[in-house]
């Protein structure tokens, strides 16, 4: 008792204030102690540690963790997990309160573990002919209380000294770990640096292949690499469509796997033809052969994509015609474009964050504002057209473009959102009727319901055909036929204008257009067969 009183008499002002805060016998975090003691952060930290070492207070043996959400402006909400200790005034060596153990400095010091870093290095070095995921290293050394941060801190220090090779996915700025962490292996110090790294890569490749049997994403990555190497050896490029069909998974899963493969293997490259079609090659394909293959692929795309390109643009013209014709009391946005003949109602919007490969800009087909009354808020409609079968990914991508655009997005306390009064309109000749969207709570909803949750309206070809029926047109005349028959966007508008003016002659108008464009269909058919 006398020793404790003597110790208390030697305390400084900072330590005395902290003991006063802890005098109620309740555990408190550093944040609470810092606030109530009214000390500076540095003074509070130093005084707490001195009191703990003197045995006047106890600290939790292990830290507690909590998730903290912070609003970061345009970046949205950031979630971080923070660890913290609690402190308790007591002269005992240890106390357990509500399942949490508090210990003094000496008792924790006597339980100092073995040198974890030494154990980790020893484990990797003794099996230098193998490669390990960092989580496997942690599990193997769990008896020594080794945690994942212990493994990574040791591995990174050894990596700087050239003792260990660390492998993960390669992104643009830095590597990222696999699901099980990074793959690590010992570098043979008796070999040259180049030979040692080559051996290490072979060992990590083997570990990845072993993992492929239990991990679908790793299995896809290995298949993609094998297919690309095979095509490159045959002096050919492989398209994304070919990879997608070979993998037998969804388009989104195939895209993710291809992206991960390029991050993982630096000897693979992506080649974009016409800045749109994705092809892939291995570094073993020299530049001369690559140039010849690209030329062949360009000719192939001209042959096979001509009709699809024409039909796709025709669909945009069809939707644009109906919007322009049937929208009353609206103010359409217009822009002057450098490309001659480009519709001024097609709008380029600016992105503050890349979306689906679009870095700074994105295009939408129409933007118009409708004001229902002089005292009422106007509604802005943004139109996006896409021919073919539309899936959930397409609707989500359109919503992300609106959300991250300067024109239609806004920062809120809950993150980036689409502005109030902005409604997306997604037009397609067909939406996948079988596709359901799984929500976070496990329930599923239809694609139409999902779009409605994103404040996006779906406009189908059947909706436009109904307008033609109401105008008096024949049931045999559909927007799908017009889309396939018309030579280009200009002819689409001419055909629809005639049908809209003389619906009784709709069938004859289409038959005439089909006869006039027969040479185009023959040419497209010839390209597809050659």
pLDDT given for residue 423 in this prediction: 93
Strands annotated E in 432-527: 436-438, 444-446, 456-460
Residue with tokens 């070095």: 125
**Residue 1 reports pLDDT greater than 50:** no
pTM: 0.47
Mean pLDDT, residues 26-41 taken together:
90
Q: Could you report the per-residue pLDDT of 89-147, keeping only the tens digit for each?
A: 887 888 888 888 888 887 766 545 568 888 899 999 988 888 989 999 988 888 788 88
Would you list the DSSP string of 15-76?
A: HHHHHHHGGG---EEHHHHHHHHT--HHHHHHHHHHHHHHTSEEEESS-EEEEEEEE-GGG-
**Residue 74 reports pLDDT greater than 70:** no
Is residue 63 a contact partner of residue 82, using CB atoms and an 8 Å limit?
no
**Full set of structural domains in the chain with CATH:** 2-110 (1.10.10.10), 116-212 (1.10.10.10), 216-285 (1.10.10.10), 308-529 (3.40.1350)
- CA distance linking residue 472 with residue 478, whole number of Å: 12
Is residue 153 a contact partner of residue 174, using CB atoms and an 8 Å limit?
no
Bridge partners of 185, per DSSP, are: 165
* Residue 88 exposure: Cα atoms within 13 Å on the Cβ side: 21
β-strand pairing of 77-84 with 64-71? antiparallel
Q: Where residue 213 falls among pLDDT bands split at 50, 70, 90?
A: low
**Residue 301 reports pLDDT greater than 60:** yes
Higher model confidence: residue 303 or residue 59?
Answer: 59
- Helix (H) or strand (E) holding 348, with range, is strand 347-350
Instruction: Quote the mean pLDDT of the chain.
Output: 84
pLDDT given for residue 526 in this prediction: 61
**Residue 68 reports pLDDT greater than 70:** yes
- CA distance linking residue 19 with residue 36, whole number of Å: 11
Q: Where residue 5 falls among pLDDT bands split at 50, 70, 90?
A: very low
Q: Could you report the per-residue pLDDT of 412-469, keeping only the tens digit for each?
A: 988 899 999 999 999 988 887 778 888 878 888 888 888 888 889 888 888 899 999 9
- CA distance linking residue 364 with residue 345, whole number of Å: 9
Q: 105 phi and psi, to 5 degrees?
A: -65, -40
Mean pLDDT, residues 476-489 taken together:
90
pLDDT given for residue 2 in this prediction: 45
Terminal alpha carbon distance of the chain:
100
What lies within 8 Å, CB to CB, of 148 at 6+ separation is 134, 135, 138, 181
pLDDT given for residue 410 in this prediction: 92
Is residue 431 a contact partner of residue 393, using CB atoms and an 8 Å limit?
no
Distance set, CA 504 to CA 322, 468, 473, 501 (Å): 19, 11, 6, 9
Distance set, CA 53 to CA 5, 40, 105, 354 (Å): 16, 20, 5, 52
- CA distance linking residue 114 with residue 118, whole number of Å: 8
**Residue 4 reports pLDDT greater than 60:** no
Is residue 417 a contact partner of residue 404, using CB atoms and an 8 Å limit?
no
**Residue 228 reports pLDDT greater than 90:** yes
Secondary structure class of 268 (helix, strand, coil): strand
pLDDT given for residue 306 in this prediction: 66
- CA distance linking residue 365 with residue 316, whole number of Å: 7
- CA distance linking residue 30 with residue 520, whole number of Å: 77
**Residue 357 reports pLDDT greater than 80:** no
- Helix (H) or strand (E) holding 319, with range, is helix 287-326
Q: Where residue 279 falls among pLDDT bands split at 50, 70, 90?
A: very high
pLDDT given for residue 175 in this prediction: 73
Mean pLDDT, residues 181-185 taken together:
90
């Amino acid at each position: 008792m006398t020793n404790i009183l003597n110790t208390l008499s030697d305390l400084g002002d900072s330590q005395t204030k902290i003991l006063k805060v802890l005098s109620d016998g309740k555990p408190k975090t550093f944040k609470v102690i810092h606030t109530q003691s009214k000390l500076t952060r540095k003074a509070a930290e130093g005084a707490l540690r001195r009191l703990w070492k003197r045995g006047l207070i106890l600290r939790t043996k292990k830290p507690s963790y909590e998730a903290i959400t912070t609003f970061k402006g345009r970046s949205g909400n950031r979630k971080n997990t923070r660890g913290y200790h609690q402190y308790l005034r007591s002269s005992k060596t240890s106390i357990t309160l509500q399942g949490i153990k508090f210990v003094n400095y000496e008792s924790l010091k006597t339980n100092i573990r073995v040198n974890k870093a030494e154990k980790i290095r020893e484990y990797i070095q003794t099996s230098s002919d193998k490669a390990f995921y960092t989580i496997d290293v942690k599990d193997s050394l769990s008896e020594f209380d080794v945690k994942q941060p212990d493994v990574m801190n040791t591995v990174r220090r050894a990596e700087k000294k050239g003792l260990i090779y660390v492998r993960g996915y390669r992104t643009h700025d830095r590597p990222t770990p696999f699901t099980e962490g990074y793959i690590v292996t010992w570098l043979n110090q008796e070999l040259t640096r180049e030979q040692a790294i080559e051996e290490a890569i072979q060992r990590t490749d083997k570990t990845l292949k072993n993992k492929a049997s239990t991990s679908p994403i790793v299995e896809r990555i290995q298949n993609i690499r094998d297919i690309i190497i095979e095509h490159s050896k045959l002096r050919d490029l492989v398209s994304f469509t070919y990879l997608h069909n070979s993998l037998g998974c969804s388009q989104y899963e195939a895209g993710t796997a291809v992206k991960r493969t390029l991050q993982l293997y630096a000897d693979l490259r992506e080649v974009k033809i016409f800045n749109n079609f994705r092809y892939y090659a291995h570094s073993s394909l020299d530049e001369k052969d690559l140039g010849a293959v690209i030329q062949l692929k360009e000719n192939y795309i001209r042959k096979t994509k001509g009709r699809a390109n024409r039909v796709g643009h025709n669909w945009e013209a069809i939707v644009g015609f109906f919007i322009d014709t049937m929208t009353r009391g609206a103010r359409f946005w217009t822009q002057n474009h450098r490309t001659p003949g480009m519709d001024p109602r097609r709008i380029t919007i600016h992105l503050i964050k890349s979306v689906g490969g679009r870095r700074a800009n994105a295009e939408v087909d129409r933007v118009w504002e409708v004001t229902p009354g002089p005292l009422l808020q106007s509604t802005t409609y943004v139109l996006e057209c896409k021919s073919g079968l539309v899936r959930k990914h397409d609707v989500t991508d359109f919503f992300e473009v609106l959300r991250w655009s300067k024109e239609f997005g806004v920062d809120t306390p809950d993150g980036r959102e689409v502005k109030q009064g902005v409604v997306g309109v997604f037009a397609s000749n067909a939406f996948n009727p079988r596709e359901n969207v799984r929500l976070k709570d496990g329930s599923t909803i239809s694609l139409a319901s999902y779009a409605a949750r994103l404040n996006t309206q779906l406009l189908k070809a059947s909706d436009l055909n109904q307008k033609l029926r109401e105008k008096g047109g024949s049931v045999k005349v559909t927007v799908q036929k017009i889309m396939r028959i018309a030579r280009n966007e200009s002819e689409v508008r001419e055909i629809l204008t005639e049908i809209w003016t003389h619906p009784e002659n709709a069938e004859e108008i289409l038959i005439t257009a089909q006869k006039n464009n027969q040479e185009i269909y023959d040419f497209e058919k010839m390209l597809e067969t050659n």
